[in-house]
Amino acid sequence: MQHRRLGPFTVSALGLGCMNLSHAYGTPPAPEAAEALLLRALDSGITFFDTAALYGFGANETLLGRVLKPHRHRIVLASKCGMTGVNGKRVIDGRPQSLKRDCEASLARLQTDVIDLYYLHRWDKQVPIEDSIGALADLVREGKVRSIGLSEVSALTLRRAHAVHPVTALQSEYSLWTREAEIATLAACRELGVAFVAFSPLARAFLTDTLHDPEAQLEAKDIRRQMPRFEPANYAKNLELLPEYLRIAAEARCTPAQLALAWLLAKGEDIIPIFGTRTLEHLDENVAGADVQLDRKTVERLDALINQQTVSGPRYNTATQLEIDTETFPIAA
């Protein structure tokens, strides 16, 4: 496994996003299956594990705490605050006292004395970003958090936060079909020396060539059912992009999933993709994606094939888009 710098840490070039072991994609796997996957990831060379207080309303942190505590010295552990489950509902709350409360609860569930990278999961737009970051800076000074991150924010918000306390990483969605990071945040991260952690690098399974009929394949509570790109008309158009994509993967002698990960790794040494999976087979496949080397011509072909102009449907629905702070591309007339 290759390694990359993440602020003060050296981590595996690919990290494991743990959300779907407890949250958002329908029925979670059995605890023993989730445990086996986490340990297999560790044995495969993955040293960067990403969770959040929101995932399973604490269940995901509890899972990681139970399974990874004996291996804590081997990993860089990231979690998130500011978006949690309250009385069965998702709540965004960036008030300083709430973030400090979140941290204490996360430390207990994770069974650790310190969180290596602690993200503000969402910017609570009712609270100045400076106030929320100030609370996280307090946690650093108290030794409960080693470094600070931000999730789903704009370049402007990143700069405001970084002026209060150095930001180690910005996490946002980035893949061939989600390119908003290229508007401004990637450039801002590079200017400030902030690592970019790319979630959903496989386009929520679109780029794996395993999801051909969302209506039939996705469970009722799968979050993709609320995303415009997975609506039948849009998804049918998006599937038209796959034949050429699969040809490029065949030429590169890798699987479609490995091609998606290799494209991101080729975009810069400061980008760390975190993929999610529930199966050992897909875990092994994705880990091997770190060994795929793409030449400049192949990267350019992929850029031209799948991008904001060729993908059908916006990234999020209107309600979800209002909760995030990232830049967006103009909607085509």
Instruction: Determine the residue type at 201.
Output: P
Under a CB-based contact definition with an 8 Å cutoff, are residues 118 and 136 in contact?
yes
Q: Are strands 115-120 and 76-81 parallel, antiparallel or unpaired?
A: parallel
Cβ neighbours of 253 (radius 10 Å)? 9
- Among 265, 193, 277, smallest CA distance to 2 is for 265
Rounded Cα distance, 314 and 308, in Å: 9
* 55 tagged catalytic: yes
Under a CB-based contact definition with an 8 Å cutoff, are residues 207 and 256 in contact?
yes
At a CB cut-off of 8 Å and minimum separation 6, what does 36 contact?
280
Instruction: Determine the residue type at 330.
Output: P
- Among 17, 96, 20, 7, smallest CA distance to 273 is for 17
Of 55, 118, 174, 235, the active-site residue reads 55
Task: Tell me the catalytic residues.
Answer: 55
